[in-house]
Amino acid sequence: MCSLIRGSPWAPIDSLEDLMRTPHVDDVVRLTKDVPELSLHRGEVGTVRSTWFAPAVAYEVEFRQSGDHSLTLALLREEQVTIEESGPAGVQTW
């Protein structure tokens, strides 16, 4: 077992694969950078809806505003998202 830590300070990562996992369809991800042209801000949470592989890896991510019925779809590069291993309470995946 690897001694690296994920999530809580005492949850071990079982393999390097866990550390290097990339988002998949229906994964909940967190935005790591602002996307001002779409009014999205670092820290917002969305759901991966598709993965693109050419010309580079990108993820189509759906963002919904709480209390609002608006929907924003964004095509984001790998470095713009991180996987939320335990989806935050109240986040709906549609």
Q: Is the pLDDT of residue 43 over 90?
A: yes
Domain ranges within the chain, ordered by starting residue? 21-83
* Amino acid letter, 13: I
Q: How confident is the model at residue 85 (pLDDT cuts 50, 70, 90)?
A: confident
pLDDT at position 19 is 57
Residue 90 to residue 78: CA distance in whole angstroms? 25
Q: Which residue has the higher pLDDT, 7 or 48?
A: 48
Q: Is the pLDDT of residue 6 over 90?
A: no
Average pLDDT over residues 25-49: 96
Residue 4 to residue 40: CA distance in whole angstroms? 31
Q: Is the pLDDT of residue 56 over 50?
A: yes
Q: Which residue has the higher pLDDT, 67 or 17?
A: 67
Q: Which residue has the higher pLDDT, 61 or 5?
A: 61
Average pLDDT over residues 9-18: 51
- What's the CATH number for 21-83? 2.30.30
